[in-house]
C-alpha cells in the first residue's frame, strides 16, 4: 500500500499583487510528522488553509489516497479526515469548553452525550487540561484555550492533523505533553503537519521538513543530520542568511530614535489591588529593561493591567515615567505615555478591517492630541511607510487591510503602532510570540534601542531564556508579590526557572509561566 495519504501538486495562490504560493507540491505520509517552516509571510498559513479546505488554490490539485479532491470548506476536508488547528483561535469565549468542542460539523458522531464527554475529558486530560467541561472559555488563559482548540481537532480522529503554530501560547510543560500526544498519534498512523517558529521544538518531533521561501518550496536539510538546525535556518532565509543577520548579540541600533519622554523612573510603592497584587517597592529606571517572570496566577497580567488602566489600585502609589499617576482607563494610560502589547495581540491589538497605515497611526491619534486626532492622512501614510521599512514588514502596500498580513507581520504592525505613540513606558507581554527567528532578533534590537533612547521597558516572556537574554534585571512574581530578583551574573535561565518554581505561589504545574 502506498503510504502517502495526502498530496499537493503545483499549488499556486495570489492575493491581488501578492504571490503567496507558486507551484508548491509535496506528499504527506501516514505515521509521519512533517514540519512546515518559513519566515513570516513565506506562505505557510496560506498553504495550510488550502490543505484544510478553508481557501481554494488558483492552480494545482490535491489528492487523498491518490484521488483528486476539491474542498470548498473545512467541513468537506474534515469529512475526508483532514483537521486543522489554525493560528487564529476559532472558539467562542462566551460558551463552555464542552459547547466549543461540540460545535464542529465534522464526520464523527457519538452514541450519547456521556460518550462524547468521556472522550472529550480523556483527550483534554492527556493534553494536561484539567478544568471542568462546563467552564466558559472567557475564564481560561490563552494557553488553555489553545489546548481546547487542539482537543477539538483530536476529537475528530483525523487521518491528517494540521497544526498551525499550536504552541505559540503554550509553556514548556504543555509543549512536551503535546509532543507526546503527537508521537502517539504518529504511532497510530496519523499524518501530522506541524508549523512552528520554534525550530528546536520542531526538530524534537518532526521526521521531515518542507521549507517555504517567498511562496516557493525550497530544498530542506535532513533533519537527522547533526547540523540540521543551522541548515534549516539557512534554507528558510536563502541569500539573507549571513552571520550578521542572525547575530543576536549585535549592538548596532536598528532604529534611529529621538530621545523619549521619560521624565523619571516607574515607581510603585505599597501597592495593593482587589485582584491580589501586593507590591511593596519596585523602581525601574529610564533606559532599563526589567524582565518579569512568574507562574500562572502570579500577578504578571494584573500588573500590566494596572499600569495600562485596566484595573485600579486599592492602596499605594504608582508614578509613571511620564511623571503622572497610574491611569484609570486605557485611553488615559496612552495619554500618560504607556504602551501595552498584550499577549493576544491579533484579537485585541489590531483593527483587522482597517489598513496597515490606519492601524499604525491609531494610537498616535489618541496619545499625541494635536498631531493625532486630526493628523493629515498623507503624513500618516508616510509615517506608516517609514515604520514598515524600519521593522521589515512584508506587505504589498500600507493601504492593505491588516487582516491580509501574515501573523508575524501583523505583530510587527502592533509594534509600529506603539512606536508611533511615543510612549515612555513600554509593557511587553510575550513580544515575539509567533515571530520568525529573524524578526525576533530585530524585535530584540528594537526593544534595546527603545530602552537606550530613554524608555522604561517591562517585558514578560513565556520563554524564560528570552527574559534573561533581554532584561537587565528580572523580577519573579508569585501570588501577586515580587518574591525575588535576579541581576548581573545571577541572571541565568537556570536560576530563573529554579526561582520561579521554588516560590510557593504556584497555582499550576511546575514550569508553567503566567501570561
Ligand atoms: N487574505 C489575504 N489577502 C492579501 N494578502 C494575503 C492574504 N493572506 C495572506 N496574504 C499574503 O500572502 C503572503 C503569505 O502569507 P501567509 O500568512 O501564508 O504567511 P506565513 O508563512 O503563514 O507567515 P507567518 O509566519 O507570519 O504567519 C504574505 O505576503 C501575506 O501578506
DSSP sequence for 109-162: --SSHHHHHHHHHHHHHHTT--S-TT-BGGGS-HHHHHHHHHHHHHHT--SEEE
3-state helix, strand, coil in the chain (%, to 5): 35, 25, 40
**Residue 510: pLDDT over 70:** no
Pairing of the two strands 67-69 and 82-85 = unpaired
Whose CA is closest to atom 19 on ligand 1? Answer: 41
117: β partners: none
pLDDT at 195: 92
Q: How confident is the model at residue 210 (pLDDT cuts 50, 70, 90)?
A: very high
Read off the pLDDT of residues 67-87 as tens digits, 9 standing for 90 and up. Answer: 999 999 988 999 999 999 987
pLDDT at 107: 63
Read off the pLDDT of residues 31-52 as tens digits, 9 standing for 90 and up. Answer: 999 999 998 889 999 999 999 9
**Residue 223: pLDDT over 70:** yes
Does 4-246 match 266-337+423-502 in CATH topology?
yes
Is residue 336 within 6 Å of ligand 1 at its C-beta? no
Greatest mean pLDDT among 26-30, 135-139, 221-225, 294-298 lies in: 26-30
Of ligand 1's atoms, which has the minimum distance to the CA of residue 47? 18
Cα(357) to centroid(ligand 1), Å: 17
Is residue 372 within 6 Å of ligand 1 at its C-beta? no
**Residue 161: pLDDT over 80:** yes
3-state SS, 42-94, equals: CCHHHHHHHHCCCCCCCEEEEEECCEEECCCCHHHHHHCCEEEECCCCCCCCC
pLDDT at 142: 75
pLDDT at 262: 63
Provide ipTM, 2 decimals. Answer: 0.98
Is residue 110 within 6 Å of ligand 1 at its C-beta? no
Compare 465 and 315 and report the one with higher pLDDT: 315
**Residue 143: pLDDT over 80:** no
Range with the lowest mean pLDDT among 9-18, 286-295, 413-422?
413-422
Q: How confident is the model at residue 318 (pLDDT cuts 50, 70, 90)?
A: very high
Of ligand 1's atoms, which has the minimum distance to the CA of residue 43? 18
Mutate to test the pocket of ligand 1, among 11, 12, 13, 15 (most ligand atoms within 8 A of CB): 15
Of ligand 1's atoms, which has the minimum distance to the CA of residue 197? 25
Please say whether the beta carbons of 298 and 514 come within 8 A.
yes
- Rounded to whole angstroms, the Cα distance separating 377 from 249 reads 38
Whose CA is closest to atom 6 on ligand 1? Answer: 404
> What is the CA angle 270-515-338, rounded to 5?
60
Please say whether the beta carbons of 8 and 25 come within 8 A.
yes
- Rounded to whole angstroms, the Cα distance separating 410 from 41 reads 10
The domain limits of the chain are: 4-246, 266-337+423-502
Q: What is the DSSP letter of 165?
A: S
pLDDT at 367: 56
Q: What percent of the chain has pLDDT over 70?
A: 88
> What is the four-CA torsion angle of 14, 54, 72, 18, rounded to 10 degrees?
0
Range with the lowest mean pLDDT among 126-135, 259-268, 419-428, 485-494?
259-268
- Rounded to whole angstroms, the Cα distance separating 147 from 170 reads 8
Per-residue cell: 389? 521599512
4-246 maps to CATH 3.40.50.2300: no
Q: Which helix (H) or strand (E) holds 177?
A: helix 172-187
**Residue 25: pLDDT over 90:** yes
pLDDT at 321: 94
Per-residue cell: 64? 487523498
**Residue 514: pLDDT over 60:** no
Residue 320, by phi and psi: left (phi above 0), alpha (psi -120 to 50) or beta? Answer: beta
Provide the edge-to-edge strand list for the sheet that holds 481-487: 338-341, 425-429, 456-460, 289-294, 473-478, 481-487
Q: What is the separation of C-alpha 100 from the centre of its chain, rounded to a whole number of angstroms?
A: 22
CATH T-level assignment (fold) for domain 266-337+423-502: Rossmann fold (3.40.50)
Q: What percent of the chain has pLDDT over 90?
A: 40
422-430 average pLDDT score: 90
Amino acid at each position: 500500500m502506498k503510504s502517502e495519504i495526502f498530496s499537493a501538486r503545483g499549488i499556486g495562490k495570489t492575493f491581488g499583487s501578492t504571490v503567496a504560493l507558486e507551484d508548491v507540491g509535496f506528499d504527506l505520509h501516514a505515521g509521519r510528522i512533517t514540519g512546515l517552516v518559513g519566515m513570516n509571510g513565506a506562505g505557510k498559513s496560506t498553504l495550510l488553509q488550502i490543505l484544510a479546505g478553508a481557501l481554494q488554490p488558483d492552480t494545482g490539485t490535491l489528492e487523498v489516497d491518490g484521488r483528486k479532491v476539491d474542498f470548498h470548506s473545512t467541513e468537506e476536508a474534515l469529512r475526508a479526515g483532514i483537521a486543522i488547528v489554525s493560528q487564529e483561535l476559532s472558539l467562542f469565549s462566551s460558551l463552555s469548553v464542552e459547547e466549543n468542542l461540540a460545535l464542529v460539523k465534522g464526520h464523527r458522531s457519538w452514541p450519547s452525550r456521556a460518550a462524547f464527554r468521556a472522550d472529550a475529558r480523556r483527550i483534554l486530560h492527556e493534553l494536561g487540561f484539567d478544568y471542568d467541561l462546563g467552564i466558559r472559555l472567557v475564564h481560561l488563559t490563552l494557553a488553555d484555550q489553545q489546548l481546547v482548540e487542539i482537543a477539538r481537532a483530536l476529537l475528530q480522529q483525523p487521518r491528517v492533523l494540521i497544526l498551525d503554530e499550536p504552541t505559540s501560547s503554550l509553556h514548556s510543560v504543555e509543549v512536551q505533553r503535546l509532543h507526546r500526544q503527537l508521537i502517539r498519534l504518529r504511532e497510530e498512523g496519523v499524518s501530522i503537519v506541524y508549523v512552528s517558529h520554534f525550530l528546536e521544538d520542531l526538530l524534537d518531533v518532526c521526521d521531515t521538513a518542507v521549507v517555504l521561501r517567498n511562496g516557493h518550496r525550497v530544498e530542506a536539510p535532513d533533519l537527522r543530520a547533526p547540523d540540521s538546525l543551522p541548515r534549516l535556518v539557512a534554507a528558510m532565509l536563502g541569500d539573507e542568511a549571513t552571520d550578521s543577520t542572525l547575530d543576536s548579540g549585535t549592538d548596532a541600533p536598528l532604529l534611529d530614535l529621538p530621545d523619549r519622554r521619560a521624565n523619571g523612573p516607574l515607581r510603585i510603592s505599597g501597592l495593593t489591588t482587589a485582584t491580589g497584587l501586593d507590591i511593596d517597592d519596585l523602581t525601574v529606571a529610564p533606559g532599563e529593561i526589567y524582565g518579569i517572570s512568574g507562574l500562572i496566577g502570579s500577578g504578571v497580567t494584573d500588573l500590566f493591567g494596572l499600569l495600562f488602566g485596566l484595573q485600579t489600585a486599592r492602596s499605594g502609589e504608582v508614578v509613571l515615567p511620564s511623571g503622572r499617576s497610574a491611569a484609570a482607563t486605557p485611553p488615559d494610560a496612552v495619554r500618560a505615555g504607556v504602551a501595552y502589547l498584550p499577549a493576544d495581540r491579533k484579537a485585541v491589538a489590531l483593527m483587522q478591517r482597517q489598513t496597515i497605515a490606519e492601524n499604525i497611526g491609531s494610537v498616535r491619534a489618541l496619545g499625541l492630541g494635536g498631531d493625532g486626532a486630526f493628523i493629515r492622512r498623507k503624513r500618516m501614510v508616510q509615517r506608516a511607510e517609514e515604520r514598515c521599512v524600519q521593522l521589515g514588514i512584508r506587505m504589498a502596500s500600507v493601504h492593505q487591510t491588516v487582516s491580509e498580513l501574515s501573523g508575524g507581520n501583523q505583530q510587527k504592525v502592533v509594534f509600529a503602532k506603539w512606536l508611533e505613540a511615543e510612549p515612555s513606558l513600554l509593557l511587553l507581554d510575550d513580544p515575539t510570540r509567533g515571530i520568525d527567528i529573524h524578526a525576533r532578533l530585530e524585535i530584540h534590537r528594537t526593544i534595546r534601542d527603545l530602552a537606550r533612547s530613554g524608555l522604561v521597558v517591562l517585558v514578560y516572556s513565556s520563554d524564560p531564556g528570552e527574559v534573561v537574554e533581554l532584561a537587565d534585571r528580572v523580577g519573579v512574581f508569585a501570588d501577586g508579590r515580587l518574591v525575588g530578583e535576579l541581576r548581573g551574573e545571577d541572571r541565568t535561565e537556570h536560576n530563573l526557572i529554579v526561582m520561579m518554581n521554588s516560590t510557593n505561589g504556584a497555582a499550576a504545574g511546575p514550569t508553567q509561566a503566567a501570561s
